[in-house]
Amino acid sequence: MSTPNEFLQELTKESVITRKTLERVPADKDDWRPHEKSRTIKELATHIAELPFYIIMALTTDEFDLQANANEPPVINNNEDLLNMFDNAIAAAKAQLEAANEKDLLPTWSLKNGGEVQISLSRGGLLRYALNEMIHHRAQLGVYFRLLDIPVPRTYGPTADEPGYL
């Protein structure tokens, strides 16, 4: 199992790559989606920007019920709002990880829907899930960029648009 410090190091590294990706979200394509079943680019980018809040939730709660906590998505009017939301989420998640210890990762955390458990895992497991989710959706955004002819930033290695390594 990873320690809070290891999660902090990983979040720090991934947040730099993710922010670079979010910086490229086009302001004039908010409603664009590659398929009718896909999220719009604005919905996807907003979801990515809010994922670090899951780290805070993992370390401060034992469960989350989707029905009981249904709310409107945050209002993002422009790329500055998106980046501010992401930066604030990252800063808060880092602070939470800096204050955590290994025992904080052990308790069980559950995602519920109307009281019915959908997922149950350790708090450390939820941290891993949140980081994986951020990476996964960032890659989806890269596909959106490719389809819109927006340069795809390098992540762990070069892309056709950005040769070389970080």
Round to whole Å and give the CA distance between 155 and 50: 20
137 is in an annotated binding site: yes
Q: Compute how many other C-beta atoms are within 10 angstroms of the C-beta atom of residue 158.
A: 12
Tell me the C-alpha distance between 22 and 18, whole Å.
Answer: 6
Residue type, 96: Q
Which structural domains are found in the chain, ordered by start?
4-147 (1.20.120.450)
Predicted confidence pLDDT, tens digits, the chain (166 residues): 579 999 999 999 999 999 999 999 998 999 999 999 999 999 999 999 999 999 999 999 999 898 888 777 788 899 999 999 999 999 999 999 999 999 999 999 999 999 999 999 999 999 999 999 999 999 999 999 999 999 999 988 899 998 877 6
